[in-house]
Amino acid sequence: MIFDGDLGMANVDIVMGLRPRYTLADVLTGEIVLEEVVIQGPQGIDLIPGGSGVSRIADTSLSQRISLLDDLETLSSAYDFIFIDSGAGIAETVIHLNSVADRIVVVTTPEPHAMTDAYAFIKVMNEKHGSIDFDLIVNQTVSRDQGLKTADRISEVARRFLKVNVKLLGTVPFEDTISRVVMNQSMGEDIVAHTRAGQAWNDMAIRLIEMGQKFSDRSWESLIFPADQGVIRI
């Protein structure tokens, strides 16, 4: 299942050509429960659609985030994997969503500003939640060599200044086909898997599955309230 956690700017349903009746906005207003939001997507993938253009979603309170994550934990038993698309940036909601993930996969591009943003995110996750292991995907590369050099730069800086491990999960080549597919809102179609970019994503998916990472038994409380913030647990 994909959980579209890009709150306020959600778009997974759009690029897949889906038309959800409900979104996370309806859950946060108390109109329905999270389970009712889940819709069936292409190729056996379920989706929890986020709300787009709804400012109150992006400004969720801590209690709302805790409740949402509790509901997500309950749903997780029905799935092999839940992918949280947390969106870009270092907003509190983005950091919280990443803090509850078993693996953090940072997606960047070779552009200098994107590399800087990737490092900033890694730094904040390390400082606020003690995260020391990250997977990295370099997207829209003109060559594999460019992707490897980009990954090496981020990994080296993170190791030197933060003492964290950034491991390259894979590189994805740029191709016009993907842009056309996104414009046509058909990312869920089989044709995507047969592109060079699609094959790269497939290889990384297989690698993640082979790692055999299972959902952890950590509580949301211990993740949302890190020990260094002085919270006493009973």
Tokens of 224: 């949302």
Q: How far, CA to CA in Å, does 126 sit from each of 6, 82, 85, 175, 187?
A: 21, 22, 19, 33, 33
- Which of the four pLDDT bands, split at 50, 70 and 90, describes residue 103? very high
**What is the per-residue pLDDT for 174?**
95
Mean of all residue pLDDT scores within the chain: 84
User: Which residues neighbour 55 within 8 Å (Cβ) at sequence distance 6 or greater?
Assistant: 8
**Cα(58)–Cα(172) distance, integer angstroms:** 29
Q: Which of 93, 115, 138 is the last residue of a domain?
A: 93
Whether residue 207 sits in one domain with residue 113: yes
- Rounded to two decimals, the pTM is 0.84
Whether residue 63 sits in one domain with residue 150: no
Whether residue 74 sits in one domain with residue 4: yes
Whether residue 17 sits in one domain with residue 68: yes
Q: Are 128 and 91 in contact (CB under 8 A)?
A: no
Whether residue 164 sits in one domain with residue 122: yes
Q: Convert the pLDDT of each residue in 184-207 to its tens digit.
A: 887 777 778 889 999 999 999 999
- Which of the four pLDDT bands, split at 50, 70 and 90, describes residue 9? confident
Highest mean pLDDT among 14-28, 75-89, 148-162: 148-162
**Cα(97)–Cα(170) distance, integer angstroms:** 23
Tokens of 18: 């889906």
CATH number at residue 123: 3.40.50.300
Q: Convert the pLDDT of each residue in 14-72 to its tens digit.
A: 888 899 999 888 887 788 899 999 999 888 899 999 876 555 555 677 777 778 888 88
Does residue 231 carry a pLDDT above 70?
A: no
Whether residue 113 sits in one domain with residue 57: no
Secondary structure class of 147 (helix, strand, coil) = helix
Cα angle value 24/26/29 (rounded, 5°) = 110
Whether residue 120 sits in one domain with residue 55: no
Whether residue 11 sits in one domain with residue 86: yes
Whether residue 56 sits in one domain with residue 146: no
Q: How far, CA to CA in Å, does 136 sit from each of 40, 106, 184?
A: 28, 5, 28
Tokens of 29: 């207003």
Within a domain: 82: yes
Q: Which of 93, 122, 149 is the last residue of a domain?
A: 93
3-state secondary structure string across 75-133: HHCCCCCCEEECCCCCCHHHHHHHHCCCCCEEEECCCHHHHHHHHHHHHHHHHHHCCCE
